[in-house]
Structure formats: structure tokens, C-alpha cells
Amino acid sequence: MLQHLEKLLNDREITSFDAKDNRIMCFPHIINITVQHVLKKMSSVDIPENDDDSIGEPNADVGRGFGQSFADACAQDPVARLRKIVMVIRSSGQRRDALMRWIETGNQNGMFVLHNRSVQIQPRQLLRDVRTRWDSTYQMIKRSIEMRLVNLLLFHEFFELTVCLGN
């Protein structure tokens, strides 16, 4: 990209620009560090160092529920909540298998509906973010958004079961 810029400038007789001397080193790394600092200010839980690290508890569940506003949900530290959900599912082989079975069953029975149409969900595992992997927080959030229909039905079923059992 900078070589192209150097050529464009040379075409306009601006010869003081050298692509090698003016390159932006580790630009994705700089963006990642910036985003991590922003997320750290938004979240009460630090990003784990690696897959083996556990994370702390997110903020209290005050006002939690299906009818809460977007502002209330953001105030409850959504990144920390997502990290906790992903960590709990990924920490058990049985839970990971159950998630895959849930996706297969939902696809077979047409349970995943978007805009009044049944959709098929790709059977994938949730991704966990760690400090040592660039853009892992982005990938974790992106995968969770892709699987939002699975998560919504799964958590709705869990909520209904919890209410029925009186827990």
C-alpha cells in the first residue's frame, strides 16, 4: 500500500516520500491495543492471558431480564458476561457436545427463525478471547452474534426450566 502511495507521490514530483522509511509498523497490533484499552474501561473483568485462565464475576444482575433496555444491558458489562458464558460452555466437553446437539436439533426442527423465516445455523463452537491473540475479542463477539439465534433459544429454554423448577 505504501509503495503505491510512493508511486502516486512520485508521479506528482514529490520525491521526499520513501515507502520503507514511512511504513506503519504493526498497525493491526496498535489497533488491537487501542481496542483492548477501550474495552478495559468498559468492562470490570480483564481479558484472560490464555485459555486456561478463569475470569472473575461480572457486575451484579440488577435489572437483568428479557425486557431490559439497551442502556441497562450495557451497564451490566456485556463483554464480561459474554466471556463468562463462553468460558462456562468451553470448559466442559459435555457442554460443548450439548451445544452442537442443540444446533443440530434446532436446524432439523426449524427452531431458528429470523424475519419470519427458518434459518440454518452453522454448527460451530463459541470462541474465547485471550490477550495473546490479536482480534480475539472481536472474533468472540462476532461468533456470538452469528450464533445469537442459538444462544437466544438456549437461554430462553434454560430460563423456562429454571422458572418451572422454582430455582
Question: What is the pTM for the complete model shown?
Answer: 0.60
Per-residue pLDDT at 11: 92
| Whole-angstrom distance, CA of residue 72 vs CA of residue 120 | 31
Residue 33 in grid coordinates: 491495543
- What was the pLDDT predicted at 61? 44
Please write down the HEC assignment for all residues of the chain.
Answer: CHHHHHHHHHHCCCCCCCCCCCCCCCHHHHHHHHHHHHHHHHCCCCCCCCCCCCCCCCCCCCCCCCCCCHHHHHHCCHHHHHHHHHHHHHCCHHHHHHHHHHHHHHHHHCCCEECCEECCCCCCCCCCCCCCCCCHHHHHHHHHHHCHHHHHHHHHHHHHHHHHHCC
Cell 485459555 belongs to which residue?
Answer: 51
Answer for the pair 150, 119: CB distance below 8 angstroms, yes or no: no
Beta bridge partners of 117: 114
Q: Which residues of the chain have pLDDT under 50?
A: 56-64, 161-163, 165-167
pLDDT value for 153: 66
d(CA 131, CA 45): 12
- Provide the pLDDT for residue 167: 45
